[in-house]
Structures are given as structure tokens and as C-alpha cells.
Amino acid sequence: MKKSQWMASFVLCCMALFSSAQTQAQELVNGQLWMDTDGKHINAHGGNILQYDGTYYWYGENRPDRGFTTEEGVGVYSSADMKTWKNEGIALAVSQERGHDIERGCIMERPKVVYNKKTKKFVMLFHLELKGRGYEAARVAFAQSDSPTGPFRFIRSTRVNAGKWPFDMNKQAQKAAQGTDASKWKDWWTPEWRKEVEKGMYLWRDFEGGQMSRDMTVFIDDDGKAYHITSSQENLTLLVSELTDDFLDFTGKFNMVAPGGQNEAPCMVKHNGTYWLICSGCTGWAPNEARMFSAKNIWGPWKQWPSPFVGKATGYHDMPANKTFGAQGTFIYQKEGKPFFMADIWNDRHLSQSLHLWLPIEFDGNGTPVIKWVDKL
């Protein structure tokens, strides 16, 4: 081969390699499997994205192919461009110790990792269910690490706001809640039952031991304060609770959002001074219509809006907007100053194969979020 021919084939070869790397980097097609750099579908569900020191970290539930208990822990992937993801392994591993809160076989869901500028630590909060107890424990758990990829050290798990009233619940309302008795209500969903829920029947039932906490997110406000937002009271009422400065505990200040509204999968974004909370209804792994709330102050009052999802999904994934395009939200991340809705298209028979759906959030002329399907990111 002549030198010039050799050079030409070398250049062609480089171009092919470059374009295949490009193709790989562009392969995040909504509604399809998303591969990591090892060629495996990204097994990180119900999680969040953290940008730290020029790198994006994606935390999520590492799910087994069969069943729904946690066998490994919370996984973490890293990326420079949000497209090419490297598996960094398990950030918080289950414990092999019998009776440990995060004993292998527990359920760890919806992990959220945030960076605390004061302590310079990475803090993980997640929904924890104790081994063998289904979804009845309903706890939030805390873990901490010096590095974004872990290993995270488990700190503790707890119910939330034990012995505390929502900060704006006056004496009269507290008395009304104290007059309820959850054990009396065998039939749910009657108008009488709903009235009792709105009075704070489950708040009172769990007052001493602490409120339930299942689907959850963490939101960091502009002033650096962190809030835990969770589906509580039998998934009927959302709680917004302030975290301490180190993000490792609750200050005791909290409020209820949409009592009796049955919202889960909370995701929060702040736009031009307004807080937007996008949630799902409660239908297990099956998709449903998203719900949306806004407030000028994180402590409310919150106003409900119609679902922000509009239009149709394209490609083979033809779930309608009124089913959140087949997905359930997990987090709203920011990329280059723009918010994106991050969601899971659950596959309840093979949870590890659940798909990812990331969609840009636009704002209409009134500043209201609108979410449309896009094929690729």
C-alpha cells in the first residue's frame, strides 16, 4: 500500500471510529433501552442526577431482573455529557448482616444524592422498606460519602416528624385531628372517610411514632436549604419537610400538601420564583395521569393545575400524554440551565429492564410548565 493510500485508510478508519463513538453518544432514544459503556441497559431507576466538578452522576435503584427486593443496593453511573454513561458500581451496598435496616432483601427506592457545600459530603436519602415487611415500614433513610461514587455509609432510617404538628396547623385544627380515629374506618373512599383524612386522621394516627415516608425527592433551594418531599399518610398526603444544615436530619418544620389527594413520585422545580411540584397518582407500577401543583412559597399555599404533559409519543412507544407517556417521574434535573423531567417506564416483570424517559420542561407564556414528547436527547 502506498503511503498516501495508507494515510487515506487511516483517516477513514478514524472517521468511522469517531462516528461510531458519536452514534453511541447519541443513543438515548426515549422508549428504548439505554446502554452504558459496557453495552448493558442502565440499571438505575427512581433516582436522580447530581452535577459535581464537571461530571454528571446518575444514582438509582439497582433492580434484580426478577422480583422487587434490593439485592445489591443503590447504583451510580458517571458521564461528562449526559449521554455516554459509565457504570461506577454500587454506591450504597445492602448489608449482609441479619436484621440490619438495609439487610439484603430490603427495598431501597427513589434514592436522591445531594452535595452539602458546608460539610463537603455527599448525602443520600432514600425510601426504605425493611426486609420481609412489604411496604409497611415506610421509612426514609440517610447515608453519606466523601466521594460522589461512594462508598456511602448508611447512617439510619426513620419515620418523619414524630411528635410534631405541621407548622401552620392551629390549635383548633390540631384538636380536630386529635378527635379522629383511623381504626374505626374500615371503608375507605367514602365522603365521610375523606373528611376525616383532610382533618389529619393519619397524621394523628402516626403522630407519636412518626409519619410514613414512601416515594420521595430532595429539593435544594436557591439559599442552599434542603427539603424532603414525600408521599405520606398511606400515600394520601404529601409532606414537605425542612432538613438540617448538614442534610442528615429534619428540623421539625413541615407542612402537608394536598391532604387526601393520593399523590406519589414527587418531582420539584423552581422557575422564576415559583415552585412546581409534578407528581403521579397511585397505581403501583402502572402509569397514570400526572398531577401538578404550584406555590410562591415552599410552605404553600399550593394550587393544583392540570397535568403538564401534552401531545403524543412518537415511535413505537405510543402511550398518551394522559398516562405520562407510560412513565412515572423521579426527578427534575438541570442541564445548562434548562430543566428536564426524568422518569421511569416501569417493567414490573423485569424491573431492571424498566426504561428511562427524559423530557425537556418548557414554560408557556404564563410561566406554566409544558412537557412534550421528544424522541431523542
Cβ 219 to ligand DGJ, closest distance in Å?
17
For ligand DGJ, the binding residue among 36, 88, 101, 109 (CB under 6 A) is 109
| Distance (Å, whole) CA 219 – CA 280 | 17
Q: Are strands 86-93 and 107-116 parallel, antiparallel or unpaired?
A: unpaired
| 171-178 and 191-199 helices, crossing angle to 10° | 130
For ligand DGJ, the binding residue among 328, 339, 340, 358 (CB under 6 A) is 328
Closest CB to ligand DGJ belongs to which residue?
A: 284
Measured from the CB atom, the residue of 46 and 75 that comes closer to ligand DGJ is 46
Measured from the CB atom, the residue of 109 and 242 that comes closer to ligand DGJ is 109
Measured from the CB atom, the residue of 285 and 305 that comes closer to ligand DGJ is 285
| Distance (Å, whole) CA 357 – CA 371 | 12
Cβ 266 to ligand DGJ, closest distance in Å?
10
198 sits near ligand DGJ (criterion: CB under 6 A): no
Measured from the CB atom, the residue of 177 and 351 that comes closer to ligand DGJ is 351
Report yes or no: 187 and 95 within 8 Å, Cβ to Cβ. no
Cβ 109 to ligand DGJ, closest distance in Å?
5
Q: In terms of DSSP H, where are the helices of the chain?
A: 3-25, 171-178, 191-199, 201-205
Cβ 253 to ligand DGJ, closest distance in Å?
26
For ligand DGJ, the binding residue among 108, 160, 265, 268 (CB under 6 A) is 265
Quote the radius of gyration of the chain (alpha carbons, Å): 22
For ligand DGJ, the binding residue among 185, 193, 285, 363 (CB under 6 A) is 285
Query: Binding to ligand DGJ (CB under 6 A): which residues in 20-39?
Result: none
Up-side HSE of residue 204: CA atoms within 13 Å toward CB? Answer: 18
Burial of 83 (0-12, 13-18, 19+ CB in 10 A): middle
134 sits near ligand DGJ (criterion: CB under 6 A): no
> Letter for the amino acid at 73?
G
> Letter for the amino acid at 308?
P
- Residue keyed to cell 410514613: 212
For ligand DGJ, the binding residue among 46, 150, 281, 339 (CB under 6 A) is 46
- What b/e string do you get for 36-50 counting C-beta neighbours within 10 Å, with b at 16 or more? beeeebbbbbbbbbb
Query: Binding to ligand DGJ (CB under 6 A): which residues in 4-23?
Result: none
Measured from the CB atom, the residue of 82 and 236 that comes closer to ligand DGJ is 236
Residues binding ligand DGJ: number (CB under 6 A): 9
For ligand DGJ, the binding residue among 284, 316, 349, 365 (CB under 6 A) is 284
Report yes or no: 176 and 199 within 8 Å, Cβ to Cβ. yes
Alpha-carbon distances of 166 from 175, 244, 253, rounded to whole Å: 13, 17, 7
Measured from the CB atom, the residue of 210 and 281 that comes closer to ligand DGJ is 281
264 sits near ligand DGJ (criterion: CB under 6 A): yes
Alpha-carbon distances of 148 from 75, 110, 243, 325, 326, rounded to whole Å: 11, 17, 20, 31, 31
Alpha-carbon distances of 292 from 128, 132, 265, 342, rounded to whole Å: 25, 34, 11, 15
For ligand DGJ, the binding residue among 110, 139, 164, 323 (CB under 6 A) is 110
Cβ 328 to ligand DGJ, closest distance in Å?
6
Cβ 235 to ligand DGJ, closest distance in Å?
8
Query: Binding to ligand DGJ (CB under 6 A): which residues in 211-230?
Result: 215
Binding site for ligand DGJ (CB under 6 A): 46, 109-110, 215, 264-265, 284-285, 328
